Structure 1
Amino acid sequence: MESQNYKNHTRYYAPHHFVFLPLLIVLEGIGIYKVFNDEQNQLSWILFSIVIFLIFYLAIMLRQHYALVLQNRIVRLEFRQRYFEIFGLRSDVVEEKLTFGQIAALRFAHDEEFKIFLEKALKEKMNGDTIKKSIKEWRPDHHRV
């Protein structure tokens, strides 16, 4: 497996991204084409296009919403567990001062960098993207949604 870093840490789900969504786009294209080229059934093609668009929209939004909400909860739990393992303290006070972007970025840093970037995030308000770009020893996460 390729070593994970900032440039390659995104992930795709092939059936969704490369089969289902492209199929919906093709069907939407056919529907729009037929709206303008089949005057006899124009109303049916308009309805077809609207339904396909709604399915496409719902597929994107529901998949993203459910996966992201669950993933965000898990990332927060991982932060709490890791903070406790490193510092031996509850993370409640610290976690309230961090944005989710900062918390998410910190999980890619190994323990020593975690401490450094946590301090910078708290004191200098270093944002998540800057934290990720600054990580020297990337801690991969191959189990993300």
Structure 2
Amino acid sequence: MQNYKNHTRYYPLHHFIITPLTLVYLGWSIYSLINVWGTEDQNHALFHTLGAVIVVLLPLLSRIYAIKNQDRIIRLEMRQQYFEMTGKSFHEYERKLRTSQIIALRFAGNEEFLQLLDKTIKEGLRSKEIKKKIQHWKEDTKRV
């Protein structure tokens, strides 16, 4: 069962293999560039450093794209959930909430969602505070 303590997900290939390896490659490239600066190998090392910067940015950029797309989908899910529960548009509330708050509210079960939504707007709860207040978690095991 998902809850506040175990809801964070790591994707091992990204978090523990690709990202560390690209950072090692970047570090090695910078180290090599510093060591050969002013020699005839400078251009080769500079080329490697530029390649390493690009290689570091690619997985980060792809993750940003995935998360932004996922956040849009979560907004749609929240609009649908609110409409199904109340028969009204979620847009009024959506303008008052940050994306992080909407994402946090997504974990709230139907029985506490509306109450927690009102409390979030009235008290300006942060996403971490929202998640801690959720008693009945709606699992999300597909999050990127």
Scaled to the shorter chain, the TM-score interval is 0.7 to 0.9
Aligned to 1:116: 115
Q: Corresponding residue for 1:104?
A: 103
CA offset digits 1:39-83 (Å, max 9, x no partner): 5523311321222023202331x2232112211111101111110
Task: Please list, as runs of the form range in 1=range in 2, the aligned pairs for 1:28-39 lying within 5 A after superposition.
Answer: 28-38=26-36, 39=39
Q: Report the TM-score when normalising by structure 1.
A: 0.84
Q: Which runs of 5+ in 2 are unaligned?
A: none
- For residues 22 and 125 of structure 2, the distance between their equivalents in structure 1, rounded to whole angstroms, comes to 40
Helix, strand or coil at the partner of 1:97? coil
Q: In structure 2, the residue corresponding to 1:66 is in which secondary structure?
A: helix
Distance 2:105 2:31 in 1: 48
1:140 aligns to what? 139
**1:80-99 equivalences in 2 (<5 Å):** 80-99=79-98
Per-residue deviation, 1:107? 0.9
Quickly say closer, same or farther: Cα 1:53–1:117, change in 2 above 3 A: same
What's the C-alpha RMSD, in Å, of the aligned pairs? 1.9
Per the alignment, residue 49 of structure 2 pairs with: 49
Cα separation, 2, equivalents of 1:6 and 1:63 = 26
TM-score normalised by length of structure 2 = 0.85
Deviations 1:1-30 (Å, cap 9, x if unpaired)? xx2222222222222222222222222233
One-letter amino acid of the structure 2 residue matched with residue 14 of structure 1: P
Structure 1, 41-50 or 112-121: larger mean CA deviation: 41-50
Give the corresponding residue for 2:126: 127
Moved over 4 A (4+): 36-40
Using the aligned pairs only, state the percent identity. Answer: 44
Segment of structure 1 superposing worse, 63-72 or 13-22: 13-22
CA–CA separation in structure 2 for the residues paired with 1:34 and 1:103: 45
User: Taking structure 1 as reference, are residues 92 and 36 closer, same or farther at Cα in structure 2, changes over 3 Å only?
Assistant: closer
